[in-house]
Amino acid sequence: MTAILHTGDPERGVLWQEIVSREVPELDFRCEPEIGDPADIRYLIAWTLDPALIARLTNLEVLFSIGAGVDQLDLSQLPPHVRVVRMIETGITNTMADYVAMATLALHRDLPFYLANQREGVWKPQDVLLSSERTVGVMGLGQLGRAAIAKLAPLGFRVLGWSRSKADVEGAACFAGENEFDAFLAQCDIVICLLPLTDETRGMLNRDLFARMKQGASLINVARGGHLVQDDLVAALDEGQLRYAFLDVAKPEPLAPDHPFYAHPAIFLTPHVAGVTRKDTAVHSLVANLRRELAGEPLDGEVDRARGY
Ligand code: NDP
Ligand code: OXD
């Protein structure tokens, strides 16, 4: 018998069990803790890994991540032959694109400034710019960076993109690699981080990067808290090198209630809600991948484990 094991949110497990059992009847869908004979389990669905469970799954072949990112999974716990698949699904991409548009428009139209003035009883109009007069840069041109650009470009922003290898994205002028990073950064009024968290990108939103940005530019970090050096951000905001930061992610999550980010007047914090895996849509991505797997075809979103994304 070939089985797939769901871990995490029991409500999602019940829904996915019903749909996967109907759509892919060749597989026995089990929900933790009812794992049955662990030797049957070839496929695992998880957000994070439990080492005790992994040790029991001696025939595991594929790990399906609940999320688009995989850095929260400690892949060193998995034998090297186990393939890892990140979640690519319309719920995450659409909610992420909406969030990026919300934060970009809020910064573009000076909402943080007007909210602060409102609290002080101040009525003080600022010059109003056209969206075409703002340059927005997206770091990371994968599923989510591209979805963000598809939302931002029709709003009229001048959009730039940056990634490791040269990309071709409609609506954006694309830059690649360290050699073109300064040319990208120096033009942006708003920089959006949508990079995966890897050994190369950890801590890259730091003092050095902020100094290479335009003075008075703003940051939107919707990737991972580990990309950001928190003290460097506070210093850059306090010194006026950066104007505002929208942060959807932090390290650790949740931040302690007395963390300085909560009260900082130039920081806007949301609790990791930018891109959300929707159980009603993500299950169809899972089903499509399970069908590919059973047909011996390549899986959508398979991660290069050595590269980390
Ligand atoms: P993808 O794997 O599809 O895309 C990654 C992109 O980043 C690629 O363009 C890649 O370039 C680029 N990249 C990777 N490493 C580097 C580097 N060292 N220098 C420059 N570019 C690099 O990822 P997704 O778009 O699906 O997701 C991005 C991240 O968003 C996730 O890893 C996750 O951390 C975060 N996320 C956050 C959510 C939230 O709610 N806040 C929700 C979902 C995801 P190339 O193609 O050239 O390799
Ligand atoms: C993800 C997330 O990676 O929600 O999907 O952060």
In the prediction, which pLDDT does 296 show? 98
Ligand 1 atom closest to 201 (CA): 18
35, amino acid identity: I
In the prediction, which pLDDT does 199 show? 96
Residues of the chain with pLDDT under 50: none
Apex CA 280: angle with CA 279 and CA 284, to 5°? Answer: 95
CATH classification (class only), 90-269: alpha beta
Ligand 1 centroid to Cα of residue 140, in Å, is 5
- The mean of the pLDDT values for the chain is 98
Strands across the sheet containing 41-46? 28-31, 3-6, 41-46, 62-65, 83-85
Ligand 2 atom closest to 276 (CA): 4
Ligand 2 atom closest to 275 (CA): 4
For 303, counting Cβ atoms within 10 Å of its Cβ (0-12 exposed, 13-18 middle, 19+ buried), the class is buried
Ligand 2 centroid to Cα of residue 275, in Å, is 6
Please check whether the two domains, 3-89+277-294 and 90-269, share a CATH topology: yes
In the prediction, which pLDDT does 211 show? 98
Who lines ligand 2 at CB under 6 A?
67-69, 87, 92, 275, 277
Contact present, 91 and 277 (Cβ < 8 Å): yes
In total, the chain counts a number of residues equal to 309
List the domain boundaries for the chain.
Answer: 3-89+277-294, 90-269
Architecture of domain 3-89+277-294: 3-Layer(aba) Sandwich (3.40)
In the prediction, which pLDDT does 64 show? 98
Give catalytic residues, as residue numbers. 224, 272
The ligand minimizing its distance to the Cα of 194 is: 1
**Closest C-alpha among 73, 148, 76 to residue 105:** 148
Residue nearest to atom 2 of ligand 2 (CA): 67
3-state secondary structure the chain: CCEEEECCCHHHHHHHHHHHHHHCCCCEEEECCCCCCHHHEEEEEECCCCHHHHHHCCCCCEEEECCCCCCCCCHHHCCCCCEEECCCCHHHHHHHHHHHHHHHHHHHCCHHHHHHHHHCCCCCCCCCCCHHHCEEEEECCCHHHHHHHHHHHHHCCEEEEEECCCCCCCCCEEEECHHHHHHHHCCCCEEEECCCCCCCCCCCECHHHHHHCCCCEEEEECCCHHHECHHHHHHHHHCCCEEEEEECCCCCCCCCCCCHHHHCCCEEECCCCCCCCCHHHHHHHHHHHHHHHHCCCCCCCECCCCCCC
